Amino acid sequence: MIEAKGLSKLYGPFRALDKVSFQVKRGEVVGFLGPNGAGKSTTMRILTCFISATGGTAKVHGVDVFDDPLEVRRKIGYLPQRAPLYGEMTVWDYLQFTSDMRGLDPSTFKSRMKRIVEVCGLAKVLGKDIRQLSHGYRQRVGLGQALVHDPPILILDEPTSDLDPNEKAEVIRYIQEIGKDRTVLLSTHNLAEVEAACARAIIVSKGRVVADGPLSDIRAKSGTVRYLVTIHEQKLYEGSEAYRAGSTRRPPSSDEVSEALGALPGVQRVRELPTDDKAHAFELSGALGGDLREAIFQLVVQKGWLLLEMRRESQTLEDVFKALTRGDERADRGRPLLAEDDDAAAVGGAAAGAAALASAADEDEDEDEDEDEDEADEGDDDAAEENGGDDESDGDDENDDDGDDDDADDDAKGKKDGR
Amino acid sequence: MSATLTIAKRELRANFDSPVAYVVICLSLIALGFTFFYYEGGFWQANRASFEMLFVYLPRGLSWVVIPVLTMRLIAEERRAGTLEMLITLPVKDHQVVLGKFLGTWAVVLGLIASTLLFPVLMFKFWHLGTLDWGPIFAGYIGLVFYSAAAVSLGLLVSSLTESQIIAFFVTWLLLLALHISGMFMNRVDDPSLQQILAFISFDARLVSFSRGLVTTRDLLYFASIAAMSLMASFRALERRKWS
């Protein structure tokens, strides 16, 4: 239903999209994820024929967006970001206006309105001026106008932005309802919404697709599992053999626990977590197929430590998203344009992103902490960064098309770098 | 109804959904009445039944207040508010958007021009002030119809080049001011070719011919070609978003 092949968009030297390719099949509800400025809206504007791509092709319902934009627009219902509507019109008048623009006859419009009013919950506001409505109701009206011609494809650009949690939940419920019999491409940076409404997600970062697949596959892309282990900081388990034998009488230090956990076979990384309790809390990373809990338990028993908590959990979609899109907030859009022979690298961006995932998330958090420390110690550097004086790693990102490789290298150095 | 007419209808309604249009139209009619009847002696001191001055004051009032106010928001505001994206992603061609907006706004201006017909009709049909030569009146209104098309399309063009209504207002105002008063500078320049250019572009000089009952294809074509070129340029300005 929607097919994008190598879509690129340049705004002068600024590269908004970089050979984006994906497909959305009939009946799918697909989340189009990415941080602000990642290229989501640009992609949607190309698919809806509002702007033209600099390179690549896109087809909607089998129609090329460049060859026959009117036919494409007839097949889609589109809700742009923040639902821009004519505030001086009443809800009914606005929906009638979009119906007239789409060439629907009055009887068809009236019959469609029954369903739209029901699905979008517009019954109470049909006679009100749009400017008097809350953000939530405006989004509903925006959804209503996208549905007025009963399109087979819906493209929704951040339909829940600026909404309060209750309104967000309602809009997501409407999308779930609408998506039962339509193809929906839903752009957002709210991962909970994607988990609620979509079975598949496409993640874009810096104008490229970095992940594309079912949510379960994306979650598994990291290839790692997290373990949370909390050890009492001031007490030992007095019933342990080590305690009774007198070999251990002193509660463990943070370094001691970190070192011992890091030495366990299969542990890829150890990181201390901040706690309010009198405890040492650590996050461990292990391979997806393995289970370290038994080894951790044996270590704790052997050392005579008092175990307060141990938990094993897969990476969340949020972790994967953060890892894949890390560094997006930094200004690296001025990087050189891709040469023709970089095509393969660009198309394979998703694979490259996934390969670096396992370590990138952890490194990201470490980096944040390091930055905090740096800020505390060397506040003067802030001004330099604000003035464009990027640190060394930023500079690498700017000049390197595949910053994820750097992440992988950095992470390799930082492996088992417990604090 | 075609997309062009649907957009024109919406534009027409949008003008009357806010008090701006009512205020502008009422004040314009009051100001026109005052200047026509009392400014520098006005109609009563002329000692002849002539509406020539109506066709001088009315287009100036339109150009310096009404048309900049009505056209400033046409595309600039839509672009700023994001409604342009919503509009253009409906199944409509760019030229239909431009034409619809032009027709909707032109209709408001034509309505205002038509309302000034009350002056001669009331004075000479109902109050029987005397005999009036209706030829120059009709010719003057033909000139106003063509002039208003050119002025509205120029305002639309300026609005399509910016996101700021204020900038659109002042640029349109300056442009129309220059086109009206260029004829006044004709006798102050020595260069004959420049004199010809100033005379050629002057709105006032051409409207005077109409008000005296002279309808020439040259004047009609002048206003029509300004309108056509401005609409085409607006279309290009709108289309520019695709590649910018």
pLDDT in tens, A265-278: 989 889 998 876 68
* Interhelix angle A357-377/A317-324, nearest 10 degrees: 70
Question: What pTM, to 2 d.p., does this model score?
Answer: 0.75
What number is the average pLDDT over the span A223-244?
82
| 3 state SS of A335 | coil
CA dihedral A317, A323, A324, A325 (to 10 degrees): 100
Q: Do B17 and A88 touch (CB under 8 A)?
A: yes
Phi, then psi, of A394 in degrees rounded to 5: -65, -40
Cβ atoms of residues B57 and B43 within 8 Å: no
User: Using a CB-CB distance cutoff of 8 angstroms, which residues of chain B are in contact with residue A70?
Assistant: 91-93
Q: Please tell me the distance in Å from A49's CA to the nearest CA on chain B.
A: 7
Q: Do A97 and B82 touch (CB under 8 A)?
A: no
The band of A44, judged by pLDDT with boundaries at 50, 70 and 90, is very high
B4: closest chain A residue by CA: A101
B240: closest chain A residue by CA: A51
Taking only the tens place, the pLDDT of each residue in A20-40 is 999 999 888 999 988 888 899
* Token code pair at residue A67: 């060859």
Q: Do B83 and A145 touch (CB under 8 A)?
A: no
Q: Do A145 and B85 touch (CB under 8 A)?
A: no
Question: What is the C-alpha radius of gyration for chain B, rounded to an integer number of angstroms?
Answer: 19
pLDDT of amino acid B35: 85
Flag whether residue A247 sits within 8 Å of chain B, measured between CB atoms: no
Q: Please tell me the distance in Å from A332's CA to the nearest CA on chain B.
A: 20
pLDDT of amino acid A383: 37
Cβ atoms of residues B223 and B147 within 8 Å: yes
Cβ atoms of residues A282 and A418 within 8 Å: yes
Residue A261 Cα distances to A214, A257, A302, A413, A417, angstroms: 34, 6, 12, 18, 11
What number is the average pLDDT over the span A107-118?
91
What number is the average pLDDT over the span A321-337?
59
**Which residues sit opposite A63 in a β-bridge?**
A60
A23: DSSP letter: E
pLDDT of amino acid B213: 86
Rounded Cα distance, A88 and A90, in Å:
7
User: Using a CB-CB distance cutoff of 8 angstroms, which residues of chain A are in contact with residue B89?
Assistant: 48-50, 73, 76, 78, 80
User: Using a CB-CB distance cutoff of 8 angstroms, which residues of chain A are in contact with residue B7?
Assistant: 101
* Chain A 140-169, residues with CB within 8 Å of chain B CB atoms: 145
**Could you tell me the end-to-end alpha-carbon distance of chain B, in angstroms, rounded to an integer?**
32
3-class DSSP string for A133-180: CCHHHHHHHHHHHHHCCCCCEEEEECCCCCCCHHHHHHHHHHHHHHHH
Nearest 5°: CA angle at A246, between A245 and A251?
125
The residue among A30, A245, A34, A37 whose CA lies nearest residue A156 is A30
Flag whether residue A105 sits within 8 Å of chain B, measured between CB atoms: no
pLDDT of amino acid A403: 37
* Token code pair at residue A220: 């598994």
Rounded Cα distance, A393 and A371, in Å:
12
Rounded Cα distance, A225 and A269, in Å:
11
Give the number of C-alpha atoms closer than 13 A to the C-alpha of residue B184, restricted to the C-beta side: 5
Q: Please tell me the distance in Å from B160's CA to the nearest CA on chain A.
A: 16
Q: Please tell me the distance in Å from B230's CA to the nearest CA on chain A.
A: 22
Burial class (CB in 10 A: 0-12, 13-18, 19+), A39: buried
Q: Do B91 and A102 touch (CB under 8 A)?
A: yes
Flag the least confident range among A140-154, A326-340, A376-390.
A376-390
Residue A236 Cα distances to A232, A284, A295, angstroms: 7, 22, 19
- Sheet with A279-287, strands from edge to edge, namely A267-273, A279-287, A224-236, A305-314
CB pairs under 8 A between A and B: 65
Taking only the tens place, the pLDDT of each residue in A175-200 is 888 888 889 999 987 788 888 888 89
Q: Please tell me the distance in Å from B232's CA to the nearest CA on chain A.
A: 19
Ordered alpha helix ranges (H), A37-105: 40-47, 69-75, 91-101
Task: Output the CA torsion sign for A163, A164, A168, A174.
Answer: negative
Taking only the tens place, the pLDDT of each residue in A67-107 is 999 999 999 999 998 889 999 999 999 999 999 999 999 99
Q: Residues in chain B whose beta carbon is closer than 8 A to a beta carbon of chain A?
A: 1, 3, 6-7, 10, 13-14, 17-18, 81-83, 85-86, 88-93, 241-244
Question: Is A392 a residue whose pLDDT tops 60?
Answer: no
Prediction ipTM score = 0.88
Question: Is A223 a residue whose pLDDT tops 90?
Answer: no
Per residue of chain B (244 residues), give pLDDT as tens: 689 999 999 999 998 887 877 888 888 888 888 888 877 766 766 666 678 888 888 999 999 889 999 999 999 999 999 999 999 999 999 999 999 999 999 999 999 999 898 888 888 778 777 777 888 899 999 999 999 999 999 999 999 999 999 999 999 999 999 999 887 887 788 888 888 888 889 998 899 889 888 899 999 999 999 999 999 999 999 998 887 7
Question: Is A53 a residue whose pLDDT tops 60?
Answer: yes
Long-range residue pairs from A18-22, CB within 8 A, at least 24 positions apart, any chain: A18/A206, A18/A207, A18/A208, A18/A338, A18/A346, A18/A349, A19/A55, A19/A56, A19/A208, A19/A338, A19/A343, A19/A346, A19/A347, A20/A56, A20/A204, A20/A207, A20/A208, A20/A209, A21/A56, A21/A209, A21/A347, A22/A202, A22/A209, A22/A212
Which residue among A71, A84, A97 sits closest to B82, beta carbon to beta carbon?
A84
pLDDT of amino acid B130: 73
Q: Please tell me the distance in Å from B92's CA to the nearest CA on chain A.
A: 7
- Sheet with A183-188, strands from edge to edge, namely A76-79, A153-157, A183-188, A29-33, A200-205, A208-214
Contacts of B27 (CB under 8 A, 6+ apart): B65
The band of A371, judged by pLDDT with boundaries at 50, 70 and 90, is very low
Q: Please tell me the distance in Å from B143's CA to the nearest CA on chain A.
A: 33
pLDDT of amino acid A86: 94
Substitution target from B22, B86, B239 for chain A, most A beta carbons within 10 A: B86
Rounded Cα distance, B129 and B119, in Å:
12
The residue among A203, A205, A212, A218 whose CA lies nearest residue A18 is A205
* Token code pair at residue A206: 């810096």
Burial class (CB in 10 A: 0-12, 13-18, 19+), A88: middle
Computed over every residue of chain A, the mean pLDDT equals 77
User: In angstroms, how far is CA A79 from the centroid of its own chain?
Assistant: 20
Contacts of A391 (CB under 8 A, 6+ apart): A381, A385
Substitution target from A50, A135, A145, A156 for chain B, most B beta carbons within 10 A: A50
User: Using a CB-CB distance cutoff of 8 angstroms, which residues of chain A are in contact with residue B3?
Assistant: 101, 103
Rounded Cα distance, B208 and B205, in Å:
5
Nearest 5°: CA angle at A402, between A398 and A404?
105
Contacts of A370 (CB under 8 A, 6+ apart): none
- In the chain, the amino acid numbered A87 is G
Question: Is A341 a residue whose pLDDT tops 50?
Answer: no
The length of chain A, given as a count of residues: 419
User: Using a CB-CB distance cutoff of 8 angstroms, which residues of chain A are in contact with residue B88?
Assistant: 50
Rounded Cα distance, B66 and B28, in Å:
8
Which residue among B81, B82, B90 sits closest to A98, beta carbon to beta carbon?
B90
DSSP string, A275-293: -SSSEEEEEEEEETT---H
pLDDT of amino acid A145: 94
